[in-house]
Structure 1
Amino acid sequence: MTATQVSEAAQEIEKLLALHPKGYDLSLDRITRLLAALGNPQDRLPPVIHVAGTNGKGSVTAFSRAILEAAGLSVHVHTSPHLVNWHERYRLGAKGGKGALVGDRVLADAVRRVAEANAGQQITVFEILTAVTFLLFADHPADVAIIEVGLGGRFDATNVITRPAVSVIMPISLDHQSYLGDRVELIAAEKAGIMKRGCPVVIGHQEEEGVRDVLVATAERLGCPMSVYGQDFMAHEEFGRLVFQDERGLADLPLPRLPGRHQYANAAAAIRAVRAAGFDVPEAAIEKGLATVEWPGRLQRLAGGKLSHNGPPGAEIWVDGGHNPGAGQVIAEAMASFEEREPRPLFLIIGMINTKDPVGYFRAFLDLAEQVFTVPIHGSDAGLDPVALAEDAGFVGFETTATSSVAEALAIIAELVDEDPVPPRILIGGSLYLVGDVLAENGTPPR
């Protein structure tokens, strides 16, 4: 995609950003009005897998897509936010093969149609972009649509789907408290809002028993056929393989391509979701999906690229957009497993926005990382000042250095380890905005 192609859709969206708020104002009234003006395209979708959760919803979306595509099905996918280009939010399915990010002219045309239907009325940009999702997915036939919730569930703009093939609730932890509540049980109740009476529900692995109780009680009240991780399906590693189990029995599968032990439960939820949605995919398709799955910006290793050359020779550089304490915990566990496999000194390069919990995030890495470097986030006006963020890391107990950019942080690390015999492992994270900046600067945007 050339810069000229990218700009047409981006320019249309930038016009909307100048007219409408960029953030969230949780309500279904505006999106319902807009969709009615468009002829209710959300009612003309293929079977929908609707995915919510604090962490893991992107991974289960990626696994589900990979498995379904491996079975030869055409799969539409909506995710948010994007990392580099707006087009990443919309993947259009292709029969018998991998789908592709929406073309620029197609996206620009859909944005214009939605903006015209809205006729300048009050609305958020996320609601307009969600309406674009439904318009694109209704206009282009496919076998299945995977739609990721933006924020919460009950009042999220995607929650106008009345009869999902399956609703999936992934791990829930504290995040977006100003919108969703300051207790995990309250957040669980909001995310449970995507469940629809009588429609199948898959509940992924939940660390908090109170969360699980809320989700199970909601599904029972609505009469939803329910599958709960650890009860109705599960997965574990055995002899370098992934053993998945549900009511059909055991399946001996390859370990997921996505790194980290937390991906075992995410993969299991995807397998169960695909089955609960009514897709009887062969085991060979599940195997291929686990082996070929891709999810940019989430424990993604930078293999070459312009920015990575600033780092120490031989360094192992990872990026991950996880930004809350729950995400910090699973990322730290992944880093610990890498350390078991191949010991290397670990350095963190972190940028965060001001709605997050830096102290909670940093605590997960306290016994793992050598030093923390903080950086500004250029992709958001809500980025935390690197000096203030360094103070948060110092409060946890880290040696910290505030820097002006990821490139500068990498260069400093290169000087620090110049004489070390073992190249370091470097994690760049704390924000999807930061990861997007890094992938763009590195010349490796999602495809």
Structure 2
Amino acid sequence: MSAELVLSNARIVLEDDIVSGSVLIRDGLIADISEGATRTGEDFEGDFLIPGLVELHTDHLEQHYSPRPGVRWNTIAAIQAHDAQVASSGITTVFDCLRMGADEDGGFEHGEMRAMADAIQEAEREDRLRAEHLIHLRCEVSADNVLEHFADFEDDPYVRLVSLMDHAPGQRQFQTMDQYTLYYQKKRGLSDEAFALFVARRQADSARNSTRHRNTIAKVCAERGVTVASHDDATLDHVDEAIGNGVRLAEFPTSFEAAKASHQAGMSVLMGAPNIVRGKSHSGNIAARDLAGKGVLDVLSSDYVPLSLLHAPFVLADELETISLPKALAMVTSTPARTVGLDDRGCIAVGLRADVVRVRRASGVPVVRGVWREGRRVA
């Protein structure tokens, strides 16, 4: 006998419209969408029914695994805590970021991220997880040991996204030394002399490693069919480099010029949902809302605040006349799913996975009132 579920009296957010009606779920898939009232099923009382959110870039797991400097938490416990928070935020598919390559900013020892990935897969086998967890490898291409870390994930089917990052000073995220000084010297309490040596070492590492490591990792990803992301592109040269490396996702471009060029080249431009909620970047770069207003923002990421992924689309729809709620929600559902080749989810449409979320929102911060993953209630 097939398992059926009816969600009724809902405002159903489709890709280009909002309709009142009900959704029939059968065997984990959306079987029917009907407009109008129905007497059966769970009564949504006029709440929104939206697709499950798809999160491509979150460092949130790190905060649970290493909640204080030098502290390491039990990996399964860290994953469960992280999973509970993302699922209760309406996220049904999450790409957990794992750092590849350690530098003077710290990072993790060789083998720690492999152990974390193993724990994610163990937690899934033991049915501990509400959301579906996939892996996003954040590769610091300037680091001497990034290829050694990356090699630990050879042929791992959970790896579906790899980003190419270079956080050396004077470029990309830190185009000005004022930003870099604030972020590193003041945070670390370095003297001017010690900071000058720190900067010189980081710049030397970048000059020695970045191009070679970037090209090597991009080639491996192309051979394996793994989506590649660029990170913090600031110039047209950076965008050209990304095009050459087969990049499909432009994460956090730091200038309008780079964002526009990436969008026009067919990449999905990703910015942080906290940037939308706060109205500005935490590092002083371009505001995501400005990119949205100019039509060159495609994807949002919660980055470091899981609930922001649900909150930000409502902020955009409230504040920008050119962006409807369906269009804003596509930035956290259908567009990220398609960017990484997950064509079975991201929309409320017949035949797709029944990853759906019940949301109540009269004003302000939306409230998640129910989450279903493949038709199974998980929150």
- TM-score category of the 2 structures, normalised to the smaller one: under 0.3
TM-score (norm 1): 0.24
Which protein has the bigger helix share?
Answer: 1
